[in-house]
C-alpha cells in the first residue's frame, strides 16, 4: 500500500518562552521540523510527506527553507494550512490527500523529531496487518485515577497503562470515515477519533526517546539524545 505521512505542527512557542514557534527552533543546528520530516523520508524513501502548519507561519518556513536548502532537497513535501484545533489540522491534511485508492497514512507530531526509523517501519508493517498502529510506551511512573464515588485518586497498576505517542497510522478510508463524523472536545488525539468511529486501536511498541518537545528542558534533552543516536 502507498504510504503517506502527515506532519502536524501548530505550536506558538509560548511554553518555550520564545517568540519563535517551537517547531522552527534549531536542534543540532537544523530546524526541529527538518529532523522530523527527514526521519520519515529516511525510513521509507518513497513516502509522501504533507506538512500542516498555521497559514501565518508559511512565510517563515519558506525563509528557513532558503537558509536550509536541504528542507526541500532532502525532504520534499506539500504544505497545507492547519485548522482551529489538532482535529481540524489533521482533517485538512487528510483532505489534501488525492489518492483514489486506499493507502496507509501516518499522522505525527512535528515536534517529535527523535522518532527512529525502525519504529516508523514497524508501525507501518503492523498497520498493514491490523488496520492501524499507534505507537506507545509503558508508563515508568506510578499512576492514580480519580474515582468520583470515593472522591479520591486511586492507584492503578502501571503495567496496565500505556503512554501514547505518534506516529499513529491508519488507512485513508478509516480516517475519512472517522473524521467525517465531526469534532468533539473529548478527542485527545487521532486515535481517539478513529476509536469513536468504532475501530479498535492496535498499539505498537515505541521508545522513550521519542519525546515531544514542548519546554526548554525537552529541547536540551533532545540535543543530548540526538547526539547519542548518531554515535
- At 104, which CATH number? 3.90.550.10
Task: Give the model confidence (pLDDT) of 154-186 as tens digits.
Answer: 999 999 999 999 999 999 999 999 999 999 999
Task: Give the model confidence (pLDDT) of 97-116 as tens digits.
Answer: 988 889 999 999 999 999 99
C-alpha–C-alpha distance, residues 219 and 201, integer Å: 30
Would the pLDDT of 230 be above 60?
no
Task: Give the model confidence (pLDDT) of 210-229 as tens digits.
Answer: 999 999 999 999 999 987 65
Would the pLDDT of 32 be above 90?
yes
* DSSP codes, the chain: --EEEEEE----STTTTSSS-GGGSEETTEEHHHHHHHHHHHH-TT-EEEEEE-GGGHHHHHHHHHHSTHHHHTS--EEEE--SSHHHHHHHHHHT---SS--EEEEEETT-TT--HHHHHHHHHHHHHHSEEEEEEE--S-EEEEETTTTEEEEE-GGG-EEEEEEEEEEHHHHHHHHTT---TT--SHHHHHHHTTPPP-EEE--TT-----SHHHHHHHHHHHHHHH-
Q: Could you give the number of structural domains in the chain?
A: 1
Range of the domain at 196: 3-230
Q: What is the pTM of this model?
A: 0.95
Instruction: Specify the pLDDT at position 19.
Output: 79
Amino acid at each position: 500500500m502507498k504510504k503517506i505521512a502527515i506532519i502536524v505542527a501548530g505550536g506558538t512557542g509560548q511554553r518555550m518562552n520564545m517568540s519563535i514557534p517551537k517547531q522552527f527552533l534549531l536542534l543540532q543546528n537544523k530546524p526541529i521540523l527538518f529532523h522530523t520530516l527527514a526521519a520519515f523520508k529516511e525510513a521509507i524513501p518513497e513516502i509522501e510527506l504533507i506538512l500542516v502548519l498555521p497559514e501565518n507561519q508559511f512565510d517563515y518556513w519558506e525563509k528557513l527553507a532558503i537558509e536550509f536548502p536541504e528542507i526541500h532537497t532532502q525532504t520534499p513535501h506539500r504544505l497545507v494550512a492547519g485548522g482551529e484545533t489538532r482535529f481540524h489540522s489533521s482533517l485538512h491534511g487528510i483532505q489534501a490527500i488525492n489518492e483514489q485508492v486506499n493507502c496507509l497514512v501516518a499522522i505525527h507530531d512535528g515536534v517529535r523529531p527523535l522518532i527512529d526509523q525502525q519504529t516508523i517501519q514497524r508501525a507501518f508493517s503492523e498497520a498493514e496487518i491490523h488496520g492501524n498502529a499507534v505507537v506507545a510506551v509503558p508508563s515508568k511512573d506510578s499512576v492514580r485515577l480519580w474515582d468520583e464515588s470515593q472522591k479520591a485518586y486511586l492507584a492503578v497498576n502501571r503495567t496496565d497503562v500505556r503512554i501514547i505517542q505518534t506516529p499513529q497510522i491508519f488507512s485513508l478510508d478509516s480516517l475519512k470515515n472517522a473524521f467525517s463524523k465531526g469534532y468533539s472536545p473529548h478527542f485527545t488525539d487521532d486515535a481517539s477519533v478513529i476509536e469513536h468511529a468504532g475501530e479498535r486501536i492496535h498499539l505498537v511498541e515505541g521508545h522513550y526517546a521519542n519525546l515531544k518537545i514542548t519546554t526548554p528542558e525537552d529541547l536540551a534533552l533532545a540535543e543530548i539524545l540526538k547526539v547519542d543516536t548518531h554515535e
